[in-house]
Every structure is written in C-alpha cells, then in structure tokens.
Chain A
Amino acid sequence: MMKTGRLRLVEENAIEAQSIVKAFGQGKSALLALDDVSVSIRKGEFFTLLGPSGCGKTTLLRLMAGFEMPTAGTIRLDGQDVTYLPPNRRPVNTVFQSYALFPHLTVRENIGFSLKMQGRAKAEIAECTDRMLALVKMEDLAERKTAQLSGGQQQRVALARALAPQPKVLLLDEPLSALDLKLRKEMQIELKRLQKETGITFVFVTHDQEEALTMSDRIAVMNAGRLQQVAAPREIYTAPVNRFVASFIGETNFLNVTPAPGGFRLGNGEIVTAEGSGGVLTVRPEQVRIVSAEGAALTGTVDSLVYFGTDMHCHVRLGDGEALTVRLPLPPCGEAGVSPGDRVGIAFQPGATRLIEA
C-alpha cells in the first residue's frame, strides 16, 4: 500500500517474525523449540497459534512478548525491530495462563497498574480504569482483592489489565484453559466481541482446535517447532496440507492410494480423482455417505456403531482391510438404519476428497 505524495510504506503487519530459531541448552543436548519459523500477523487480526503441547506455540508468544530472545531471527513490531527489546519497552501486553494477578492489589489497582508504571495522571488512570471495568463488566467488584474472585472473574480482570494501556498487540497464552466448558464457551464469545470492538490485534495460543476454528481470522498450526500451515479456519479444515494438520483438526479418514490412469486407485481398484498430490486420500467423516451396497463402486462391512448424541459414528471396514469412519446424522427417532455386520456401499461427497503426502 503506497501513499501518494510521500513515498512511505504503511506497515500492514502488526507483528512479523522472520526465520526464528529458539534453542534451549547447549550443544548436543540442546532442545530446538522453534525451527526456522516465519509468520506475519496483520493488524486487527484475531490470529491463533494452534498445536499440541511442546509444539513451540507458547515459546513463540513469549518471544513476541520479550520474555525470551531468539537464538536467531528477528521480530518486528509495526515495522520496528524489537527482537532484543525488554518486555517493559514493547507496546505489547500479555494475558497469562495463570492470570498472574497481583494478590496485594485490588481489581482496580491491578487494572491501572500499567498506567501507574507509565506515570500517567491520577485522573487519567481513574478514567481509563473505569472504562476497562465497564468493558469486562466488573464494576461491582472493583475494590475486591483478586484472591477472592472466581476463575472467570480473574480472567476478565487479567484481560482488562492487559487492555488498559492500549497495546498494539494483545498476546493471550491459553487464557481459557483453566475454565470449565460452559464458562469457556461464554468467554470465547466475549473475547471475540472485545477484539472486534477494540480493533486490537489478538495473538491467541491454544491447543484446542475447536476453539481455534470458532474464534480465529487465521490459524497457524504448529508441531515440533515448525509451522505446518497458516490459513483461515475454513481452508485449514477443508484443505489441510499434510497428515498432521488433517488429523489434528477435526477427524479425518486416511486411505492409501496409488497413481493410476485418470486419477488414483483405491485399494479395491476404484479410480478417484482429487485435488492435491501424494499417496494418501483424505476425506472427513461427515463427507462420506452410506449408500446401498447394490451397484456401489466402494463397499465394506459395518464394524461398529458409536453413539454421540448429535450423530452416530459408523466404523466401516473396506474390502481391502482399510477402515473408514462415517458420520451419520440421526433422525428424530434416533435410529441409524444400519447395524454391525451389514454390507454397505460408500460414496464421497463430490469435491470433498484431497490428496496429501503419506
């Protein structure tokens, strides 16, 4: 984006991490937490770092916050190199997994802490704190000590405290992991609303793929210190680039295929065409349909049925021994219509299959 008149590049990216390497320890026993990771986060985005424990997502977040420094690589904030800047000099704030609320201060004092550290006027601090209290709906509890609050309340105070100094980027380190399911779902909606309202770039770390899918504008899937895929939720779900992403997000069926004229050959001989490349065909369980075995190209036997309330998972064993999971929506009376041992036919929704590397 170029401004006419003055040749100035307006920075689009809130955070830019380039070629980040982070190693803990020395020499042979060094642990490579991040292996050449590069990611650009746009302004105003709700960006999620998603992956299993130990994948490096928290390490990357801490590098952005300034609590760790990379072994190699740079971090830019709004175009400025902040790689070696200490955390109290970066316009970035963190919501910690353990909340880290100051036990000796009240809710109000916690929220106003950053402003007090910056030496702002008392009136300004009071006004901003009141605004934050209203934002997270904690006005009644402003004078309480934080130790007396529930988990959900503490979480909201942590949020308000980090938002008070109006950071350029808000970093959230698995902030909802300590909450029970119902509260979690409520807070997810809350967080999304807050992000839209304030317009601040959110960088959100989680291991819960459902959370990532519902809240994010873009997701970066990580594993073992490397980026696997960075894309919008829909694309991550429908077009995973490798086996890890396909199996980490939602459920996937994997079928081995071999190249054949016109497409790819399944185990039983049928030829299918699909996007992508590689030796494995992926298809989501809800994109597979059970059809009559008569005249079906792909057939199998029903192994077992698992009841999930909303639907039924049907495990089918194909002729060549491969297994397939089919998600069957349940009619009001709750009967699936198939039983273990039935011979059934399998059909894929058109365009639902993808090929990936083995």
Chain B
Amino acid sequence: MSKAEQRHRRRSARNGWLLSMPALVMLGFAASGPLLIVLVYSFLQKGDYGNVVWEFSPDGWIGILFTRDIFDGTLGLADAHLTIFWRSVSLSLMTTVITFALGFPTAWFIATRPASERAAWLFLVTIPFWTNLLIRTFAIGEILRTEGLVNTLLLWLGVINAPVQLLYNDNAVLVGMAYVYLPLMVLPLFAAIERFDMRLLEAAYDLYASRMQVLLHVILPIVKPGIVAGSILVFVPSLGAYVTPRILGGGKNMMIGNFIELQFGQGRNWPLGAALSMTLLLIVVVALLFYVRAVNRAGSGHGHG
C-alpha cells in the first residue's frame, strides 16, 4: 500500500471510531457498563435491608448452589435453588422441542408457497412476534383460565365435567413460552429452507426414497444449521424468561429470571442476584458461540462437516 493509501485508511478508521463513539458511550452507560457493576456486586456482602455492604464475600456465588445452615454454619445443597434451575433448563429444552415440532412444518409450508404469496405468509407469522410480550402472555393466560376458551370448549364437548385448572403450573408456562417464542424458531428455519435446492428432492424420489426417508436423510441434514440457529434463538430467551413464568406460573413456579428478581425484592440478597445474573449471562454467551459457529457453517456451504 502506498503512503497515501495508508493515510487514507487510518483516517477512515479514525472517522469510523468517531462516528460510532456516541452509540458506544450510550450503550456503555446504560447497557454494557452496568454489567461490570453486577459482576462486582456478586462478590460483595449482602446488606440486611437489601443493597450491599462493601466488603468482599464469596457468599453470593456460593449461594447459587448451597445454603448455609443458620445454626451450625455448614453448607448444604440448596434444593429449592436446584429445583428452579432444573425447571428453567427443562422448560427451556421442552419449549425448544415443541417450537421445533410445530415450527418446522410451518416454515416448510411458508417456504413452499408460490413466491408471490410468501411475503404475505411471512408477515402473518411475524406480527405476533413484534406484539408486546405482555399482551401475548396475557392472551394465552386468558385462553387457559378456568373461564377461558379451552375449558369452555372441553366442557361443551363433554370431555370434562368441571373446569380444569390449566393455569399456574409448569405446563401453563410451557404453553406460554412455546406460544411466545414460536416465531423465533420459524424465521431461521424458513431462511434455511428457502435456500434448500428443491431439485435434490426430485433426485431423492428418483432414487426410491419414501417421503419419510426424504425428510430424514436429505432435508433435515441439509437444513441443520437453520435448526441449530432456531433452537438457540428459542432456548436463550426461554432460559431468561421473566414475564411469562410470572404471569402464567403464578409466583410459585419460578424460573431463573423470577428467582433473580426475588433477590432484589423480598429475598434481599443482592450479591446472590448478581451472581445468578452473571451465571445466566455466561450460559447465554456459550450458547451464542454455538449459534455463531452454526451460522458460519451454513454460510460457507457444505464443503466439510
């Protein structure tokens, strides 16, 4: 590169940084920066009425998995905590599976519509996605209530004699999360299926594959990066869900998000809350790394695997 080109490059980089700086400052102040504070707080001692005492204490992190007996100070496994973690992980996994089972046919359906219709169907699937999370959760809650649509229908059909309690349990949260995060599974799947070469299907049928064999041996393997992307896009927000378990779970069926909130409210254990937040963030970052790898593999084609 010539001297002039080098100078131009440096100036271009400098301008790039200058232009991006205001946004970076804003985010640093009200998004990324405070995360560091959380990290610091996780190593402090909890105050008696909430907030923290500025002394080092590992209790925040220990408290994730263990409780200290108030009488003899020994550590024991915090069963309540483990239940919450287990619930969060299993519900998130189940949500991912359900959204895939329902989302894959939906994405396939949209991708195989004639090109003129496709944008309309996509728009239809996206609208619920952009609708307020609270509204959608509330709407599902209304359907599941004892006076709601599902119970009314079941009573009318004669399947049950009295309204069934559908709300305020793990299943309600599962249904709610599947409902809320379904579009997040459909969109990456649709992107992957749209890129799929349909002529491969002709070849597969020509070579005596049945419909099921085509799905298992040709479609799913090739669309795998989209499946991974969709799964992570559903799993990550599910893990950190707050609104949905709160409204549909009724306060007793807590997930990690609610548990974190508790520490800053009645629980009065800010360091624990901070440690939990950091743990959640760590899990999410790891999951996102998998996502980036899957997306990159999709972009580079199928030359190796």
Direct A–B contact present (CB less than 8 angstroms) = yes
> For residue A66, which residues in chain B have a CB less than 8 angstroms away from its CB?
205-206
Contact A117 B302 (CB under 8 A): no
Residues of A contacting B222 in the complex (Cβ-Cβ under 8 angstroms): 102-104
- Chain A positions 107-127 with a Cβ under 8 Å from a chain B Cβ: 113-114, 116-118
Q: How far is the CA of A116 from the CA of B207 in the complex (A)?
A: 9
Whether the Cβ atoms of A94 and B213 lie closer than 8 Å is: no
Q: Which bracket fits the contact residues of A?
A: 20 to 34
Q: Using an 8 Å CB-CB cutoff, how does the interface string of A50-67 with B read, 1 for contact, 0 for none?
A: 000000000000000111
Q: Is B73 an interface residue (CB 8 A)?
A: no
Mark interface residues in B194-212 (1 if CB within 8 Å of A CB, else 0).
0001011011111111100
- Does A237 have its Cβ within 8 Å of any Cβ on chain B? no
B207 near A96 (CB under 8 angstroms)?
A: no
* Residues of B close to A148: CB separation below 8 A: 303
Q: Is B22 an interface residue (CB 8 A)?
A: no
Whether A100 and B302, one on each chain, are in contact in the complex, defined by CB atoms closer than 8 angstroms, is: no
Asked if A145 and B202 sit within 8 Å, CB to CB, the answer is: no
Interface-facing stretch out of A85-93, A221-229, A262-270, A305-313: A85-93
Taking CB as reference atom, which chain A residue is nearest B218? A102
- Judged by a CB distance under 8 angstroms, whether A284 is at the interface is no
Are A87 and B202 within 8 A (Cβ)? yes
Most A CB within 10 A of own CB, among B203, B221, B301, B303 = B203
A27 → chain B closest CB, angstroms: 19
| A256, B207: Cα distance in complex, Å | 52
Enumerate chain A residues within 8 angstroms of B204, measured Cβ to Cβ: 102, 113, 117
How far apart are A288's CB and chain B's nearest CB, in angstroms? 47
Name the CB-closest residue of A to B209: A117
Establish whether residues A145 and B200, one from each chain, have CB atoms under 8 Å apart when the complex forms. Answer: no
Using a CB–CB cutoff of 8 Å, the interface residues on chain B facing chain A are 197, 199-200, 202-210, 213, 217-218, 221-222, 301-305
Given A94-B202, A104-B305, 19 new contacts (CB under 8 A)? A67-B205, A86-B205, A87-B202, A87-B206, A88-B205, A94-B206, A96-B199, A100-B200, A103-B301, A103-B302, A104-B221, A104-B222, A113-B217, A114-B208, A116-B217, A117-B207, A145-B304, A148-B303, A161-B207
A–B Cβ pairs within 8 angstroms, 29 of them: A65-B206, A66-B205, A87-B202, A88-B206, A88-B208, A96-B199, A100-B199, A100-B203, A101-B203, A102-B203, A102-B204, A103-B222, A103-B301, A104-B222, A113-B204, A113-B217, A114-B207, A116-B217, A117-B207, A117-B209, A145-B303, A145-B305, A147-B302, A148-B303, A161-B207, A162-B206, A162-B207, A165-B207, A165-B208
